[in-house]
Amino acid sequence: MSTTTADFRAARPTAAGLAGTGGITLVCGTRPELIKLAPLMRAFGDGCAVVYTGQHYDRSLYARIRADLPPSEAFHELGVGAGRRGGQLGRTVSAVDEVLADRPGRAVVVQGDTTSALAGALAANAHDLPLVHVEAGLRSHDRAMPEEHNRVLIDHLADLCCAPTELNRGHLLAENVPDERIAVTGNTVVEALQAALPATDDRRAVLAARGLERDRFVLATIHRPENVDDAGRLAVILRELGRLPLPVVFPLHPRTAKSVEAFGLRHLLEPLVELEPQAYPAFLALAAEAAVLVSDSGGIQEEASVLKRPVVVVRRSTERPEIAGTFGTRVLPGPAIGAEVARWLDDVAGHRERLRHLPSPYGDGSASARIVTALNALLAQRAGVTAG
């Protein structure tokens, strides 16, 4: 089942390979998961059920989540909500288990490394349903990250690990995941982004509505617990953003907003162009036209490589090292943020032209077709074993 990176960038599967995949259940709970699973929802068609756990519970963010999705006749909203990690996981496993008991389907698909993804994996395992892990094999080697534990557990439960890159496949093999359970597929973020990215004129209209000019602003997002749950660290990041020489557009994540209020840091937002959370196309319009991105988001690291924009990653570790030295660099909170942004601002046009010619390490936009092909093979194999 395993393929090489060269393989998945070569012949692109056709729509004919997507037939016969009804009865698939996608389990997810956050906006990034839904964005990345949307191409699979379209590929699976009417036979696809979506279980949305409600791990992202902010109503304004949720409205944008639903706006990003293709229509689904079987959309189960569980409303699990926030809480301590252990309690949230337990509630989510129980809720997904009930859905699968009523509608087991043929296989369960989870994406990434969230609590919802782990819950979906555990519930699928309890029902003896084939489990597909989209975005398998990512490793930060940072055990302080809850997501690292989640992704490792899901990979070892999965019947099919869809690894975006050969590096991810290598991580799985090093952990003794059998090669026949791995398929190198690319990442569905490529086609999700390509479908959602507004045309040039529409992007310019988004900028004009906010008084922005192409390559004359920085787009920043900060939301990870390691950065926003610590008052000192969050203050350092916001101060560094406020000192940058260009306007900094800052869509405020609900988690970050709560921390800003709780820690009394509202004054540090004053130098920034604060925005409410953006719909995915509007966010991509800003990202595509920015001089540089500053973020702690994993997805934005991938998106930067598709948009051909530089990203300064503000984290202690990353599970996406494929962009290091090309599209992005990782720094810790502090003066390194400003120094690295300044490096990218030294020749914005030149960097834009250079990055334009670099391929994204995450594939050619056919990951969902490759995932469906691999899943079809898995289901056919299981059917043959059962028949035998």
Known active-site residue 156: no
Q: CB–CB of 106/130 below 8 Å? A: yes
Q: Which residue in this structure is represented by tokens 């997501």?
A: 147
CB 97 within 8 A of CB 119: no
**Phi, psi (rounded to 5 degrees) for 129:** -100, 145
DSSP 365-386: S-HHHHHHHHHHHHHHHHHHHH
Cα separation, 250 vs 79, in Å, equals: 28
The per-residue b/e assignment along 9-45, b for 16 or more CB within 10 angstroms, e otherwise, is: eeeebeeeebeebeebbbbbbbbbbbbbbbbbbbbbe
Terminal-to-terminal C-alpha distance of the chain: 21
- How far apart (Å, rounded) are the C-alpha atoms in residues 126 and 133? 16
Residues in CB range of 100: below 8 A, 6 or more apart: 25, 108, 123, 124, 127, 129
Q: 308 — alpha (psi -120 to 50), left (phi > 0) or beta?
A: left
Single-letter code of the amino acid located at 193: L
- The burial of 345, by beta-carbon neighbours within 10 Å (0-12 exposed, 13-18 middle, 19 or more buried), is given as middle
Strand 182-184 vs strand 160-163: parallel, antiparallel, or unpaired?
Answer: parallel
281 touches 67 (CB < 8 A):
no
Distance CA 304, CA 310 (A): 6
Among candidate residues 56, 76, 133, 223, the one labeled active-site is 223
Nearest-Å Rg of the Cα atoms of the chain is 20
Residues 184 and 162: their CA atoms lie apart, in Å, by 6
- Active centre residues (catalytic): 223
